[in-house]
């Protein structure tokens, strides 16, 4: 569902910091996006602190990194993952980008804005272009003798092995537990996706990690795939 007005909670925090809308956030075709610098100012103002980040997954050759960040404000604590891969990160610093994304998500959770706005680190240039393209393509009038726009693909573009070799599946209980945390976080992310454009942006951003999950923890990948498909169907029914 497109958001045409800034949520009241967001306006309250902007006014509390004596900042303007222009220096705080922007409207990405119906989805409100907050600048990373603004989130850093909010965190400093609210007294948010962070534990040392934990590297959950890293592949230097593939430039793929997943970082777990835990933040605290007053007596509350929240945690989240940050992911950086060549599919969603074009700079040369995947570790820094994954940490930045995780911290922004934690800040939004701690100040109660998660789900109302997204960090600009979540929606990179490619994701912005994808959302804009889909918004531009959405017919304003009833199409004449044209096929409806294709639905975004539910399955990743590369199919996993039907039966992955046993030695490719993860057997270490500790690592499986880490993958379960990633799965839990992805499930929550999917629940917050507001429209098909952001669904596609989320998938593109995380497809490298998801591809790894197919062979490493296929059971958890199947749960994410099923949840993602269900969310897409719910969005289609609302449109």
Domains and CATH numbers, the chain: 8-119 (3.30.160)
- pLDDT, tens digit, for every residue of 189-239? 888 888 777 777 777 788 888 888 888 888 888 898 888 888 877 877 775
Contact 104, 83 (CB under 8 A): no
Q: For residue 163, what are the CA distances in angstroms to 16, 159, 174, 189? A: 55, 11, 23, 28
DSSP state of 51: P
**Confidence band (pLDDT; 50, 70, 90) for 170?**
confident
**Six token digits for residue 139:** 């017919």
The residue-averaged pLDDT of 85-97 equals 87
Q: What is the mean pLDDT of residues 84-89?
A: 86
Task: Give 1 or 85, the one with higher predicted confidence.
Answer: 85
pLDDT at 162: 37
Taking each continuous run of H as one helix and of E as one strand, the counts in the chain are: 7, 7
What sign does the CA torsion over 10, 193, 198, 179 have?
positive
Q: How confident is the model at residue 1 (pLDDT cuts 50, 70, 90)?
A: very low
Backbone angles phi, psi at 113, to 5 degrees: -110, 0
Cβ neighbors of 182 (< 8 A, separation 6 or more) are: 56, 57, 66, 81, 209, 213, 220
Phi, psi of 187 (to 5 degrees): -60, -45
Angle at 113 between CA 203 and CA 151, to 5 degrees: 25
Which pLDDT does position 134 carry in this prediction? Answer: 58
């Amino acid at each position: 569902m497109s958001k045409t007005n800034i949520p009241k909670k967001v306006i309250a925090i902007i006014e509390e910091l004596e900042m303007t809308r222009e220096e705080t956030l922007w409207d990405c075709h119906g989805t409100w996006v907050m600048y990373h610098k603004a989130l850093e100012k909010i965190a400093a103002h609210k007294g948010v602190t962070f534990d040392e980040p934990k590297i959950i997954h890293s592949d230097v050759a593939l430039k793929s990194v997943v970082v777990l960040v835990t933040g605290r404000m007053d007596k509350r604590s929240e945690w989240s993952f940050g992911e950086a891969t060549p599919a969603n990160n074009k700079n040369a610093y995947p570790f820094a980008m994954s940490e930045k994304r995780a911290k922004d998500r934690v800040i939004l959770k701690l100040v109660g804005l998660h789900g109302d706005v997204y960090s600009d680190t979540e929606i990179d240039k490619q994701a912005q272009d994808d959302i804009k393209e889909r918004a531009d393509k959405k017919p304003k009038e009833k199409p004449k003798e044209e096929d409806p726009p294709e639905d975004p693909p539910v399955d990743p573009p590369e199919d996993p092995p039907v039966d992955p070799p046993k030695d490719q599946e993860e057997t270490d209980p500790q690592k499986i537990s880490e993958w379960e945390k990633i799965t839990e976080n992805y499930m929550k992310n999917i629940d917050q996706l507001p429209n098909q454009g952001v669904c596609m942006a989320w998938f593109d951003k995380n497809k490298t990690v998801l591809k790894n999950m197919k062979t490493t923890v296929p059971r958890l990948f199947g749960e994410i795939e099923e949840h993602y498909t269900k969310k897409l169907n719910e969005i289609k029914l609302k449109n």
